[in-house]
Amino acid sequence: MESLQAKNKKTENKEIFENSLKSNDTEEKIDIYFYRPIGLRIAFFCQKVGLTPNAVTIISIFFGVAAGILFYYPSLWINVVGMLLLMFANSLDSADGQLARLTDNKSRFGRILDGFAGDFWFASIHIAICLRAMNEGWSAAIWILGISAGISHLLQSAMADYYRNVHLFFIKGTNGSELDNSADLQEEYDRLTWSKNAWTKFVLQGYLGYTKIQERLSPKLQQLLRVIRVDFSGGLPSTLIADFRAMNKPLMKYTNIVQFNTRVIFLFLWLFIDYAWIYFFFDLFVLNPILIYMCRRQEKVSAHFYKHIDEYKR
């Protein structure tokens, strides 16, 4: 029989693992059973050697960009090495957030840097596939596909990340979410000066534009959030939390589909059959319709709660 000490250790390890996650509602199965366990081990190692979450994020950028460069070559074994590097980069990307939560070393700059990391990875992947396609006989028109798919990817990732943080805001509050709004960011941006805070102001300028895009694509959600901030500044009622979670949780699977794992599985498939350029069509004509459906679905959820918000004030 398992000893009491072993059981306690197992329980402790499980609690540490769960505390390193954002939320079971927003995690994919592949992440929970593969990337997050690997990320937690990396996070423990980084904690021992004194690496900060931001340093881990920067390291992930180098591995992700290197992966993209290897996808330029038509050799399958080189592509497989690139696949492994990209998987390791994603493990590091998981580790930086887990390390931040375990050590309570979270910052807005860290969140911004973490978002930019994936953009660097996929920028290198798109460039590599375009150059590879031209070597295979495609005209320069392939860049239109590559850039269009890249813009689509940015919008897909932006809205998926935003909807996840909205979900976390409702179920965990401000401490458990990384939800920002452009009004607060604008005030912070205006307080900074280019002479004294040039770098911070530059980064915040980009993040402010990014946040405004998210808000423009979710008008009904913005109506709901404005009411929430005014009427429930002291915290959300438990009934609203439960009802929102029940109605919004099914949306989380769509936010996962347009993020890393699904797109990478298909990217690897196209690389294995030596048709890497199909990835652009997948991004444009499969993931974009999912993005549109996801946005419409979230807007319906937001409109529902905006209409019935008075019922939660009683």
**290 neighbors 254 (Cβ within 8 angstroms):** yes
Q: How many CB atoms lie within 10 A of CB 191?
A: 9
Q: CB-based burial of residue 101 (10 Å sphere; 0-12 exposed, 13-18 middle, 19+ buried)? A: middle
For the chain, what's the residue count?
A: 314
Nearest-CA neighbor of 213 among 289, 151, 305?
A: 151
Residues 6+ apart with CB under 8 A from 128: 68, 69, 70, 71, 72
- The per-residue pLDDT for 124 is 97
* Amino acid at position 194, single letter: W
What is the tens place of the pLDDT at every residue in 257-282? 999 999 999 999 999 999 999 999 99
Dihedral sign for Cα 231, 234, 236, 238, please. Answer: negative
Nearest-CA neighbor of 146 among 169, 123, 180?
A: 123
Is the pLDDT reported for residue 15 higher than 80?
no
Residue with tokens 């993209």: 68
Residues 6+ apart with CB under 8 A from 175: none
Q: Which residue has better confidence, 284 or 115?
A: 284
pLDDT class of 112 with cuts at 50, 70, 90 = confident
101-108 CB contacts, 8 Å cutoff, 24+ apart: 101/19, 101/20, 101/21, 101/22, 102/16, 102/19, 102/20, 102/43, 102/47, 103/47, 103/53, 105/52, 105/53, 106/53, 107/54, 108/180, 108/207
What is the tens place of the pLDDT at every residue in 76-95? 999 999 999 999 999 999 99
Integer Cα distance of 102 and 17 in angstroms:
9
Nearest-CA neighbor of 109 among 182, 206, 226, 244?
A: 206
What are the structural domains of the chain?
Answer: 1-138 (1.20.120.1760), 139-314 (no CATH)
| Residues above pLDDT 70, as percent of the chain | 95
What is the tens place of the pLDDT at every residue in 239-256? 999 999 999 999 999 999
- The per-residue pLDDT for 2 is 57
| Residues above pLDDT 90, as percent of the chain | 70
Least confident of 174-183, 199-208, 264-273, 295-304: 174-183
- The per-residue pLDDT for 174 is 75
End-to-end CA distance of the chain: 53
- The per-residue pLDDT for 8 is 59
pTM (predicted TM-score): 0.91
